[in-house]
Structure 1
């Protein structure tokens, strides 16, 4: 049985979700997976990081041979763990890929990319990145009645233009209800408006799922994304997502099933470009959503749900394929060539990373 060592900071949000999702897919395919928490950020890392590094190095020295066929590292590269496996692969989020991670790229046997955007970024740095796409949990609940209202899942992120969304909505009392779910840590602005429901209290998963299904329109004007879980969760419930017309967001949401918002200007965050929309573009996108008739809403909703299901199936197949090949020591160039051969006989829209 192939053995994979899955390494990432179990941060309780996005990375934790990625860890569980990848582990489940690989285990379902008969691959043994251990999850090893990577180093986190902030004070805990400062206090305990040196001790953990020494402990891990000492542990590796006790091994006569690697325990795993593959180390699969998410978001950051952990050099002290390279010896735990015969081969090493990296799944980056470009917006969090630090200079030290870039310096360590030559030590990776493989880079697996969630999006076409990430493939381009790492190809330019001499890494032949194999696209695997990605997926999110299916949040669909057909029992929840749909309403022509709007939903914005800000969470803990500071890169979803939440303040702009709130300020713009407060200027339009004629617009339908907007529900915003935001973590208290980042909820620094909360306008008083009759058509805004700003949830900064704890929202349990059942209530969050109800909100995702109830609102036909999801506002997702991300500045950048490593993948975009809240975008793909919106697609899973058949919502019409309004998102930034820039990569990688427009790899997941197209004009066929969503509404794209032109960006006004750009910035940088590590290896990623940040694409920022402004009020005028947001207003136009909301008005376009409100102008859709029931038939067009139904068509786009079905197309969104269909995209989610095809992308989800493609990712699960692709991940297992590239991990098996990497475990067996197949070079990156051969992994990518195999993907290209498979893509020739598959629907190219099935894989978000290559669609």
Structure 2
């Protein structure tokens, strides 16, 4: 049984969920999993490299075979140089939009890159890294007991890459549209003028209430500028919603015409290694109007197709991870 060490910042939010989902998939695939959680704090930042160096030095001097006790490290989001000596194979599982210059510089010390989107493959292959596509999966948030309504939901959370400000600005111009509920962290929210058809919740809610909201809305607007994978988008597919998503990679890898509605963009930018795509006002108007024009049968058909994709992707994820690790190791 191969021993895999997952190394990532345990931030209590998206990365914590990311660690859990990957761990579950690896165990399903027959791997033994250890999680080395990175914690934040100045003392940890200063003393962890020294502690890791002393640990490796002691292992070498003592002749311990524990130095290579892991078959592979999987480093999520950043390459952790302190851990390179603790596995025979070191693999990087990046989010291109958060991939720093130091991560790029350390790529040559890794043995390959596990790509969560097809969009990421040429980014890292072009920098000389051996790549393998694993995709990813998200939590299953489906609750069929929740009544559905023809309203729109946008889960902004703490992210500043969701196109939230543009979405709110366009919605304020269309008082005839149904209600848009936006859930956003106080750390990033910029509440604007109150509008009758916008419910802007700037707070934290418990998971049960979030799940209810996700299931209650027929339409989820995911106007992302970029995504490392897109958990909030895939969770929306999982509840059988009609997802309105940016018509750009990697968002349109998941959202296609048969299981969602794409939103046109009108300009691009960059964030570290990722290209960012900014949805246009005309693109939002067109996508929302197309959603409103769907009859109930069409909404059900599109939502069912999204749910099927979610189930198929979730079922295949452990197999993709296992195949990539067996190849890389």
Residues 273-352 of structure 1: pairs in structure 2 closer than 5 A: 273-326=275-328, 329=329
**Gaps spanning 5+ residues in structure 2: where?**
none
Aligned to 1:105: 107
Aligned to 1:20: 20
Structure with bigger strand share is 2
Q: Could you tell me how far 1:189 is from its partner in structure 2?
A: 2.0
Separation in structure 1 between the aligned mates of residue 186 and residue 246 of structure 2, nearest angstrom: 25
**Pick aligned residue for 1:82 from 74, 84, 89:** 84
Q: Which SS does the other structure have where 1:169 is aligned? A: helix
Aligned to 2:3: 3
**Pick aligned residue for 2:232 from 230, 233, 248:** 230
Provide TM-score, normalisation by structure 2: 0.95
Tell whether the 8 Å contact from 1:190 to 1:198 is kept in structure 2 after alignment: no
Provide TM-score, normalisation by structure 1: 0.88
Separation in structure 2 between the aligned mates of residue 67 and residue 324 of structure 1, nearest angstrom: 17
Separation in structure 2 between the aligned mates of residue 166 and residue 83 of structure 1, nearest angstrom: 48
Residues 39-54 of structure 1: pairs in structure 2 closer than 5 A: 40=40, 44=41, 46-54=42-50
- What is the number of equivalent residue pairs in this alignment? 323
Deviates more, 1:150-159 or 1:64-73: 64-73
Tell whether the 8 Å contact from 2:28 to 2:318 is kept in structure 1 after alignment: no
Q: Could you tell me how far 1:24 is from its partner in structure 2?
A: 1.4
Tell whether the 8 Å contact from 1:138 to 1:233 is kept in structure 2 after alignment: yes
Q: Could you tell me how far 1:305 is from its partner in structure 2?
A: 0.4
Q: Does 1:129 align with 2:131?
A: yes
Separation in structure 2 between the aligned mates of residue 325 and residue 62 of structure 1, nearest angstrom: 31
Q: Could you tell me how far 1:245 is from its partner in structure 2?
A: 0.4
Q: Could you tell me how far 1:51 is from its partner in structure 2?
A: 1.0
Q: Does 1:57 align with 2:59?
A: no
User: Runs of at least 4 residues of structure 1 off by over 4 A?
Assistant: none
Tell whether the 8 Å contact from 2:133 to 2:324 is kept in structure 1 after alignment: no
Q: Could you tell me how far 1:269 is from its partner in structure 2?
A: 0.3
1:184-214 CA distance string (max 9 Å, x none): 1011224311111111122111110111111
Q: Does 1:31 align with 2:12?
A: no
Q: Which SS does the other structure have where 1:89 is aligned? A: strand
Superposition RMSD in Å: 1.3
Aligned to 1:350: none
Q: Which SS does the other structure have where 1:115 is aligned? A: coil
Aligned to 1:258: 260
Tell whether the 8 Å contact from 1:166 to 1:191 is kept in structure 2 after alignment: no
Aligned to 2:154: 152
Q: Does 1:244 align with 2:253?
A: no
Tell whether the 8 Å contact from 2:111 to 2:129 is kept in structure 1 after alignment: no
Q: Could you tell me how far 1:47 is from its partner in structure 2?
A: 4.8
Separation in structure 1 between the aligned mates of residue 190 and residue 39 of structure 2, nearest angstrom: 28
